[in-house]
Amino acid sequence: MTTADPNFDAEREARRERIFTRINKADGWFRVLGLAWVTPLARLVAGDNPKTQLSEIWRLLGVPILAILSFLALWGALAPQVQTSLGAIPGPAQVWEQAVNLNADAVRTRERAADFYERQEARNAERVANSEQAREIRPFTGAPTYYQQIWTSIKTVFFGFLLATLVAVPLGIAAGLSATANAALNPLIQVFKPVSPLAWLPIVSIVVSAVYVTDDGWFEKSFLVSAITVTLCSLWPTLINTALGVASIDKDLVNVSKVLKMGTWTKITKLVLPSALPLIFTGLRLSLGVGWMVLIAAEMLAQNPGLGKFVWDEFQNGSSDSLGRIMVAVFTIGIIGFLLDRLMYAIQSIFTFTNHR
């Protein structure tokens, strides 16, 4: 009869504990990426309680997949029953077909652009060889691809969000530190926070057209109109949460800063911001989500380049493929919104070391 080696058992147990420690450390990032189900799967592979981990995998992965499949089945069954002036509502298969078509259109446009620039370069080389006039550079004037419109919308929302952050965070810190500043800002917040982008858009368009009169500036007017509209509608969640975070700082810490005779800048950077960061990032996540929704509406109404204009153009087009393409845009908008929120959550996790979702 053989006896177990206690040293071997101890080493195996220590190795097992190290594996679980690594899995637990990685769990925070799995949650940030929306992959929380990877943790119980890893623990199951590492030899943890199968019943418990399978239950977690079912809850975190199986249930969402089942819900998505049920939604797709219900959508596919009910969509053909709804008839519109453009035909039946497209089901999942038709929407996927339009997504493939949009990708094919983008590929063809890139090939045409490459051919255009290749021919242009050949003409310019011939000009130089024949000592004729200077090189002639013209941009490709084809319609923007679906991917280019997505990229335009992402650039616009981040620019507007950056402007909103630069305005909202300092004002929120001032409102949180000073009762007088809070009293001054509160009426403005209450009045302007509920204003729809539909009301801001014509005002912003008129002001930008009057102030930004150059035609060769860094930004196009349509870009600035959309970005500033995003700024005006999205700065309020950040401002409010920043003020709340600063105002809720432990009073003992404030008293310590007075005893140490900290300057205003030192107090803000060493005490106020670190303590208020969780709520500030909550406001930033809300602001980015609001900004993304506002942007689509602004692009649609102002006919500025981006996903909103794509949706409006397809609506105006009225072809048999338009509904499917609009639904592709709807899913694109939703997925990008989710990814933007995950991005902000990842940044929040880096700076605040929290695991709150």
pLDDT, tens only, 299-309: 888 778 889 99
Cα 226 to Cα 298: distance, rounded to the nearest angstrom = 6
* pLDDT 10s digits, 282-299: 999 999 999 999 998 888
**pLDDT band at 151; cut points 50, 70, 90:** very high
CB 281 within 8 A of CB 307: no
Using the predicted structure, report yes or no on whether residue 26 has a pLDDT greater than 50.
yes
Cα 168 to Cα 166: distance, rounded to the nearest angstrom = 6
Instruction: Write down the pTM of the prediction.
Output: 0.83
Using the predicted structure, report yes or no on whether residue 334 has a pLDDT greater than 80.
yes
**Sign of torsion over alpha carbons 157, 160, 162, 165:** negative
* pLDDT 10s digits, 57-96: 898 888 999 999 999 999 999 988 888 777 788 889 999 9
Q: Which residue has the higher pLDDT, 354 or 39?
A: 39
Q: Which of 136-145, 175-184, 314-323 has the lowest mean pLDDT?
A: 136-145
How far, in Å, are 81, 339, 350, 355 from residue 292 at the CA level? 32, 11, 23, 24
Using the predicted structure, report yes or no on whether residue 253 has a pLDDT greater than 80.
no
CB 130 within 8 A of CB 94: no
Residue 87, beta-bridge partner list: 84
* pLDDT 10s digits, 160-186: 999 999 999 999 999 988 889 999 999
Cα 246 to Cα 12: distance, rounded to the nearest angstrom = 49
Q: Percentage of the chain with pLDDT > 90?
A: 35
* pLDDT 10s digits, 103-124: 999 999 888 888 888 887 877 7
CB 94 within 8 A of CB 317: no
pLDDT value of residue 330: 94
Query: Amino acid identity, residue 348?
Result: Q
Tell me what the mean pLDDT of segment 249-256 comes to: 74
Q: How does the average pLDDT of the chain come out, rounded?
A: 84
